[in-house]
Chains A and B, each alone.
Chain A
Amino acid sequence: MSIMSKFRICPETGLYFDDQAEKLIKWNAVTGVVFLLIGGLFGVLMALTRWSEVHILPADWFYLLLTAHGLDALIVWIIFFEMAVLYVASSTLLKVRVAAPRWGWLGYWLMLIGAIITNIMVLEGDSSVMFTSYPPMKAHPLFYLGIIVFAVGALIQVFCFFGTLVLAKEQKTYEGSLPLVTFGALTAAIIAVFTIASGAIILVPTLLWSIGYIAHIDPLMYKTIWWAMGHSSQQINVAAHVSIWYLIAAIVFGAKPLSEKVSRMAFLFYIFFLQLASAHHLLVEPGLSSEWKIFNTSYAMYLAVLGSMIHGLTVPGSIEAAQRKKGFNKGLFEWLRRAPWSNPVFSGMFMSLVMFGFLGGITGVIMGTEQINIIMHNTLYVPGHFHATVVAGTTLTFMAISYFLVPILFRRELWLPGLARWQPYIYGLGVAGISVFMMAAGTLGVSRRHWDNNFADATLGFDYPSAAHMFLALNGVSGVLAGVGGAAFCIIMVGTILWGKKKADVPAAQPAPEPEPAVHTAGSAGTIAVPGTFVLALIFLGSFILYYYVNWKYLSEVWGLS
């Protein structure tokens, strides 16, 4: 393979695009969006089926498509897009060619083949085992094999990322330390290796079990190791979308991190303090001691949570500093009011930040509290929570950065810019609704992964409170709204790629953000105070504390358990 590589410099942004990296970014991202479209469509059908008056799917299709929805929307779409993010964070930001691009392509094709195999198995109807596939329930062997092939492909692309970092270091394409965004992406990649290793440890034996080579898979062991993959994979998402928050703050505002040290330390917390986060999923399980549960759900000090709380301050803080530097200094919040709310890159990112924190973060920690989990485990509260972290957090962020990346990668003007302005709000509102109303129904006891909330076919019936059905109806409406927003995103992206006006090869109207740093030197006299962000952070903390103790109160009212 030739050492020489073709590249171009984006005339608008000055970004460096290696030829192979650019192709890998495009293919991974576009493939991801295709799976988002499929998974998202299934998601809308879930919301409509839970709405009693609509109840659109029959039972077998509900469970089948729920399995497919989880796989496509949570895993396939997100991991494909993350691969694109890794190439941007390494090759593009470090101005270096991709290491071993042929391996990258091998990884891409393995992921695609694996995803297709698993999807076919699910859609054929004999692998409706849910995304978690807990044994002794058994799927078709190819269901597990597809996931394994997908994971191997992802691992190969992750190693291309590592190789690209080494190459950049070797060729001295940058000086000093990695940019913060690349550092965050590296965090995600390291967690990905741990995640995929855990997945292999449990899914390979499960595959052998499904074809009869292994007699028995202990369900508790499966759950413990499976969630070392399942939960950590969500931490890949968090590390990736937080990196993109910093990226967007940099490209939209020219913002600089308040201090490199604090932000990097927060990323490091993700690596160190989440490895046995599978405990969050095992808090009402037999056979595990309270000591084990308490320690592994918190590591005695919740440092992974602390990491997210730090990013929750430093990302908006860096934006505030940049805005104040530009003169938006009036009061506490002029910097925020005068932010570019009609730019979907920013609006999507900022809504994601707020919803990830307020809706996803707070509820996740509360649900991961050993005893409080008793009143939430496997209720709709759980999907309510993770739609705020994964959909509002990760997916909305990935949509936001797509508005920046797709036009410069494909050299096209954004198609339907008017719709693009509104899309993050439509989608964000829909997702907020899905999340809040599922959590509300879950608080009233409604079960997750359940086709019939009226128990029409059960020998012994039961009625949920009527408020629960109202929340499920509102969840249905929100699902449709999110579906409209998601479809708008896919239409804008596909339209941009196919029919967007070709960009002329001259610098466009919007020049690159000025390279002058928004904050001179952290901690010195030149530092710009960020009181608005601090107030927002305190409001967050207040909500957190209040809602945390509300849930202890709920718990204290249920039967005595010991």
Chain B
Amino acid sequence: MSLPDRTVLDNGAVLVSIALPSNPFLAFRGSVPAGVAAEGEDRGVAEFTSRLLLGGTRRTSAAKLADRLEGIGSTLEFHASEEVLTFQGRCTRETAAETVRLLVECLGRPAFPAKEVERVRGEILNDLRIEADDTRHRAMRALAEAVFPKGHPYGRDPKADPGRVRRIARRDLVAFHEAHVGPEGLIFAVTGDIDRDLIERSIAAPLSRLKGDGHGPVEIPPPGTHRPRTVRIPMPHKSQADIAIGTQAVSRLHQDYYAVNLANLLLGRIGLFGRLGKNLRDDQGLAYYAFSSLDTRTAGGLWSAAAGVNPANIVRAVRGIREELDRLRTDPFSADELANGRDNQVGSLVVSLERNAEVAGELHRLEYYGLGMDFLERYADIVRSLSDDAVRGAARRSFDPDACSLVVAGPVGKTRVSL
């Protein structure tokens, strides 16, 4: 793969692209700095805004937008996350110009019609109800709130709570959009059936027309101190309980990131979920899924381990996770495990970037974190240069069970559980 092209447009938007003509369509992924972190005290407006960007513009109604996009076979989605408001889509060479034009119209001139505001309000309220009945969602949400206290953007539910959702007014959304959605800080990553001419004519030209005086990326404060705790969420009508254990992790740009990432791979991801999967699923048969996750962002991250188990097995499963965390000290990763992990990370570059959508996501990540357009070329060397001891040390420091909170959601009954 050649190096991606990076262009800064006159309005400040950054366009990253790489041609992969064997896949005969385009996939794109982008963002503007209008996520939860930009909300301040106005909780829920980022999510609300993201859902309304397809709700009609000053020129085009929601129904006409849908007809136009689907009439040319394109897809376009907007989602809010903790740091940014993302967009992604697919189109063909022939429909790229119209698709990007519609994207720019949605980003730049949303109308926030009252009817759509109320429809989206109902949709978010219903989603909150559905998520409140989902054991896995409840466990992970409660864990994020425990790990990132005091309303830090990483711990907040992007949808906010029902009371807040009912109070959000159209003017709040208009104000948020005006302040945070514009070309400043916008990243547009695209790949597939593209060439220089198409990029300039069908993508750069419409993107350049995006105007705005947005504030650009906001500074995200480091999360406050995490005081580990245990949370039980009784949901007696469920068949299975979800366990979530976690703590704060390094940021994506922290010097230990690659060591922590490799350690997490070995602990709960590689193959059928690493050491955790072997213990809980393979050896004990306790869970269909038991894995760990490392979610790193600009100002910090979340490390978590999760498992879904029969309520009778909650204590055994928590004990199994604890054993594996303790083992990182008593039986650290072997040289063979570490070699496997490095090989996996290097090899997975080929496999994980086989689709246009995956490549677009990776291009976006390169730009968002400032990793450099040559990052993918350097990645193997970065992974290979990690010493065994660095990874073992990172595992001990980062996955310390005594620094973790524990959440159990489901038919917990009278089970008393601690990590």
**A and B found bound together:** no
Residues of A whose CB lies within 8 Å of any CB of B are none
Residues of B whose CB lies within 8 Å of any CB of A are none
